Each structure stands twice: as structure tokens, then as C-alpha cells.
Structure 1
Amino acid sequence: MTRIGILVGSTRPGRKADQVARWVHERATRRSDAEFEVVDLLDHPLPHLDEPLPALAGRYQHEHTRAWADTIARFGGFVMITPEYNASIPGVLKNAIDYLHAEWTHKAVGFVSYGTRGGTGAARQLRTLCELLQMAVVTPQVQLSLHNDFEEHATLRPGAHHIGDLDTLLDHVVAQSTGGRTALPTQRETDEAAIRRHVEGIIDAIQAKDLEGLRRFYATDVVSFDIDPPLQHVGLDAKLKNWANVFTFFQEVSYEMRDLTPTVGEDTAFTHAFGRLSGTRADGTAAGGMWVRATFCFRKIDGDWLITHDQVSVPLDILSGKGVVDLEP
């Protein structure tokens, strides 16, 4: 199986590149089409380029160069993590790249950059360098803003839209690394994957009791037919108020979903699934929850899939008019 290296391109104290690499690696390891490994330049200390011959010659004199060459040679492609320092890439990353030649050539590479403007200057220079080495540079890239994607400019909290960007970047790096044997996804497959990630994000936000996290998944005019009164909750504020009310009942929340089935069109989509909300009540007792039927309707708005309608229900006993809540999918 193709191996992709996630290269951490900064070694300075207080760096954020290691957080970004962990985020990329966590997302990448959900895939089954390649193996991913973090390569941290902190673990590969290289002096300023000290080889007497150009890297193009391929005759490395020093042991540290040969060890670095052996590491890079193991991978068929790379995701390079770079901050932007003075509109450029870190010197340590440039130095590490300059040590080698054949080990980089013809391999796929994609960039995840960060900085006050998303690290665009660094990514642009890195692209030029990698193209000069005849690497297969993919077009999609991820640009993280220090202002918007790092809490207090320190802790990585990437916006939800970056997940789709990252998945697209990984799609292209893997496809290029396998010589085209891994086909790039169709637009429908890309949209379906985005919707699945969207639902995963909702589950994560519910379990974290994160109302602001939930906010980014719904359209402002969402209409919700939830399990509790009234008949409908209209608008984003009403939807979040309903979730806030639910969270008051729990110390810890768990949400499980089964059989999620999306159907995707050009700019609208819907999914149906079974869901169960459970957890630990405010008094410390366990709440096992009940299985419900859930439907989500999406609309693509400014390039993002947002929920415009959701509905939750349970079957009814016709004679008694009471909900049947002890069924399982």
C-alpha cells in the first residue's frame, strides 16, 4: 500500500506545525487507500547543508544525510506542513529539502500552510521549489488562518470547511502517488463524503455540548421537526435553543447513528438514519436513550452543505396514540 509522509516543516519552540500535523494525521488515518506517517524534522536534526556534492549526484557522504534519504525514500507522496515566516517557508524545511534530490523527484506532494493570511506566501514558494524538483504538486491545498483557526492564536480549532479541503487534498495526493490507479472521486462522491463528514461533525458537537460548533452545520432558516414540542422549531436560534435545553439534562452526552444513507443531487440532498441520544443525567444516573428515525435535508449554500430541515420521529401505537420507544434498528 502507498505510504504518505506528513512532513512537519517547523522546529522552532512554540511551533504550531505539530498540532496541524496531528489534525492532518487523524483525518488521514480514517482512509483505507494509503498508509500515513508523521515525519517530524525535530526527529531528524540536519546541520546546514554540508554535503560536498550537489544532491543531484546522489552520492551522500554523511551518515545524517543517508539516514534522511532512507526516511524520505520510504514514501510515495507527501503532505508538507508549513508556517509562513516573513512571507517564506522556514529555513529548516528548505534545508531538509535541499539535502536530497532523487528521493523527492516524481513523488506527489500537497501543502497545508498556516499564518496570518493562511500561509499563502509560504505555500507559493514551496510549490515553486517542489515543481523544480519535478514533484507532482497537487492543486488543492489547505490554508489555515492564525486569526480564525487558532484559538487565541495558539490552539488549533480549524473551521469545518477545512475538513472538506483536507479530504480533497488527500484524494489528489493519494491518486498521484499511486500513478492514477486510485481514481479521483466524482463530484457526487465528493458531495456524499462531505455530507457524511457534516453528520459526523454534528455528532461530535452534540457529544461535546458545543452549541457554537453546531451552529455552522445549519442554515439560518432551518425548520426542525424535533421529537419534543412544539410542532416545529423555526430558524437557527430556535434550533440551538432546543439543543441547549437538551444539554441541561445531561452531564455527559453520547449520540449514536446507524445506517446513514445519503441521496445527493446538484444542490440539494437528503439522508435518513437511526439515531439514539443517551448519556449521564445531571444527577449522575445513566440514561440509555431510545432509537428514533432521523431525516436531514441539505442545500448547498455558497459551496457548503447546510441542513435546511430535519425531522425526528418514533412509531406510534395506533390504538393508544402513544409512542413506541423500545424498538431497535
Structure 2
Amino acid sequence: MIEIGIVLGSTRPGRVGDQVARWVHERASRRTDARFTLIDLRDHPLPHLEQPPGFSGQYSDERTRAWAATVAACDGFVLVTPEYNHSVPGVLKNAMDVVHLEWNTKAAGFVSYGGVGGARSVEQLRLVCGALQLADVAPQVTLPLATEFADRATFAPGEHQLTALDTVLDHVVAWSTALAPLRRGDAEAAIRGRIDAMIDGLRSKDLEALRRSYAADVVSFDVEPPLQHVGVDAKLKNWAKVFTIFEEVDYELRDLTVAVSGDLAVGHGFGRVSGTLKNGVTTEGMWVRATFVFRDTGDGWVIGHDQASVPFDVATGRGLTDLEP
């Protein structure tokens, strides 16, 4: 089911935005076409651009990683925003700036409040959404302090605002659903990038770089005994053994196909380790059938299971290691 995050974009003491966000969430929760989660930026005290923009999806700061996971878990958003000095609250702008890929190919709608209903804040947010590849829907809910808040402090919206809110929610859910195929494409690109990083780690004999490609509890069915290697340390021990044999190591992956569903993905192809041995002999290695199972941890895609196998001759029981794809 489509997941929509309702982002409360103000952390100011005495804010009225929490009343608005609860109103949006209560109304949205009655729907059956999506799940809605209230996301309060007070629960995400983010650094202020302490690292480069998140075009790679990799973040060094723990707070940023937690926020990236929250954004990544959503298929679309309703941004609840006030207008401060004719503009967007700094805390909301910063929350949108510190991550990047996690916003891409999703939809966003707006519920704004303020002296003129927060309209100028939304106009600026639409520009930000364009840069983040967020599809901003046209309908919006505009809540002037003078008419929708008793004494400019207690939220008391008119009934007509429910119709406006329902329209925004309709559009956000529809566009989030329509963009789902593009998000799967983003996931496949990220997975192929993870495979490329793993291959780079192999070629440079960098075990720590390889560690980042695997889940801590990875289960590997490798060509070497035993039947399974459990945990990332066991997996890296296998690669460390390869590095002791090769002076220079190479890895080729051919015909990789990736299928993504939610936070799980499967890839399969043909892999081959080759290179120059410690004694100076060059070997082309053997082709194996390679299967990978990935899962999205929120910090990125990692390998939770892999398998390397060769076909065998039924009559002799010997593996066939001279086949080529």
C-alpha cells in the first residue's frame, strides 16, 4: 500500500502547526487507499548542511541517516507549513536540503497557514520540489489565521476546508501511485551502483569497502564449503582467502537482471573471478551462476543473501567449470 508522510514543518515554540497536522492526519487516516504517518520535525533535529548534498544516498551523520530512512519509507508527502517572513520555515528547508535521492519521483501536496494562509511559503516550496524531483500537485489547502483560527491561536477550520483537504489527498495518493514504476527504476539504479561498489572493493582488495555491501546477517551459499556462510565476517573471510591467492584480482559480472518489489530485490547473472596469482600465473577463472537478494535498510541497499553455483554432471557428480555464458 502507498505510504504518505504528513510532515509538520514548524518546530517553533507555541506553534499552531501541530493542530493543523493532527487535523490532516485524522482526516487522512479514514482513507483505505493509502497509509498515512505523521512526521514531526521536532523528532528529527538535523544538522545544518554539515556534509555535501545527498546525491549518493550515503550519509555520515547518524541524524541524517535516520531522516533519510524516514523520507525513503514514504511514497508521497503532505507538507504542513507556516509562512515565516514571506517564506519557508528554515527547519523545513533544511530538512529538504540535507537529503536528495530519498525525495525523488514522489508526490507532494501542501497544507499551509499564516497571515495570507501561507500561500507564499507554498509558492517557494513548489520550486524546491521541482529541484528534488518531487511532483507537486496543483490543489492546496490555504488556512488564513484570521478566518480559520479562533483568536489566531486555536484551529477551527470551516467545513469547506475538508473538501479542499480531500482533494489534496486524492491527488497526492494518485500521483504517488502513478510514479511507483519510476521509483522502482531508482531502486534498480541504486542496486546496480551497490554491485559496482562491491566489484571496485574486490579489485582493490578492500575488505571494509566490501563490508558496506553486505547485511550484518548475510547468509552466503558460496562455491566453497561449508554449505552456508552466516554473517558478514564469515563472508569477508572467504574474500580474504581469495586475496591471499591473487596478486591482482578482477571480477566480471555478466547479464545481471534485477527485479525490485518494495524493500526487497533479486538479481541474477554470471560472475567470474580472474586475475594474476601470487606466483605470477594469469588465470581466467571459471564462470559461476550468481544470485543476489537485496534489502533496503533505509541507509541503502545491501546484500542479505548471495549464492554462487556451478552445474554438475549427474553421471560423475563432477562440477562443470569450463562453461561460458
Q: Does structure 1 retain, via aligned residues, the 8 Å contact 2:17–2:82?
A: yes
CA shift digits 1:208-250 (9 cap, x unpaired): xxxxxxxxxxxxxxxxxxxxxxxxxxxxxxxxxxxxxxxxxxx
Q: Secondary structure at the match of 2:55?
A: helix
CA shift digits 1:15-55 (9 cap, x unpaired): 1111100000010011100000100000111121211x222
Cα deviation for residue 131 of structure 1 reads 1.2
Cα deviation for residue 132 of structure 1 reads 1.4
- Alignment of structure 1 residues 1-329 onto 2, 5 Å: 1-51=1-51, 53-179=52-178
Q: Does structure 1 retain, via aligned residues, the 8 Å contact 2:48–2:98?
A: no
Relative to structure 1, the CA distance from residue 134 to residue 158 in structure 2 (aligned partners, 3 Å threshold; closer, same or farther) is same
Q: Does structure 1 retain, via aligned residues, the 8 Å contact 2:77–2:107?
A: yes
The separation in 2 between residues aligned to 1:133 and 1:106, in whole angstroms, is 8
CA shift digits 1:77-96 (9 cap, x unpaired): 00000000000010000000
Q: State the 4+ residue runs in structure 1 displaced beyond 4 angstroms.
A: none
RMSD, aligned CA: 1.1
Residue 232 of structure 2 corresponds to none
**Unaligned 5+ runs, structure 2:** 181-325
What code does the residue aligned with 1:35 have?
Answer: R
The separation in 2 between residues aligned to 1:152 and 1:133, in whole angstroms, is 37
The separation in 2 between residues aligned to 1:159 and 1:134, in whole angstroms, is 33
What code does the residue aligned with 1:76 have?
Answer: D
The separation in 2 between residues aligned to 1:126 and 1:47, in whole angstroms, is 20
The separation in 2 between residues aligned to 1:44 and 1:180, in whole angstroms, is 27
The separation in 1 between residues aligned to 2:29 and 2:14, in whole angstroms, is 26
The separation in 1 between residues aligned to 2:110 and 2:50, in whole angstroms, is 27
TM-score (norm 2): 0.54
What code does the residue aligned with 1:50 have?
Answer: E
Q: Secondary structure at the match of 1:70?
A: helix
Cα deviation for residue 180 of structure 1 reads 7.0
The separation in 1 between residues aligned to 2:131 and 2:158, in whole angstroms, is 32
Q: Secondary structure at the match of 2:163?
A: helix
Ranked by relative contact order (alpha carbons within 8 Å, sequence separation 6 or more), the top structure is 2
TM-score (norm 1): 0.54
Q: Secondary structure at the match of 1:100?
A: coil
Q: Secondary structure at the match of 1:147?
A: helix
Q: Secondary structure at the match of 1:69?
A: helix
Residue 273 of structure 1 corresponds to none
**Unaligned 5+ runs, structure 1:** 182-329
Cα deviation for residue 58 of structure 1 reads 2.3
Q: Secondary structure at the match of 1:32?
A: coil
Cα deviation for residue 57 of structure 1 reads 2.9
What code does the residue aligned with 1:31 have?
Answer: R
Aligned residues: 180
The separation in 2 between residues aligned to 1:3 and 1:71, in whole angstroms, is 11
Relative to structure 1, the CA distance from residue 91 to residue 180 in structure 2 (aligned partners, 3 Å threshold; closer, same or farther) is closer
CA shift digits 1:194-214 (9 cap, x unpaired): xxxxxxxxxxxxxxxxxxxxx
Sequence identity (%): 59
What code does the residue aligned with 2:41 have?
Answer: L
Cα deviation for residue 109 of structure 1 reads 0.3
What code does the residue aligned with 2:71 have?
Answer: I
Q: Secondary structure at the match of 1:31?
A: coil
Q: Secondary structure at the match of 2:121?
A: helix
CA shift digits 1:64-113 (9 cap, x unpaired): 11111011111000000000000001000000000111100110000000
What code does the residue aligned with 1:4 have?
Answer: I
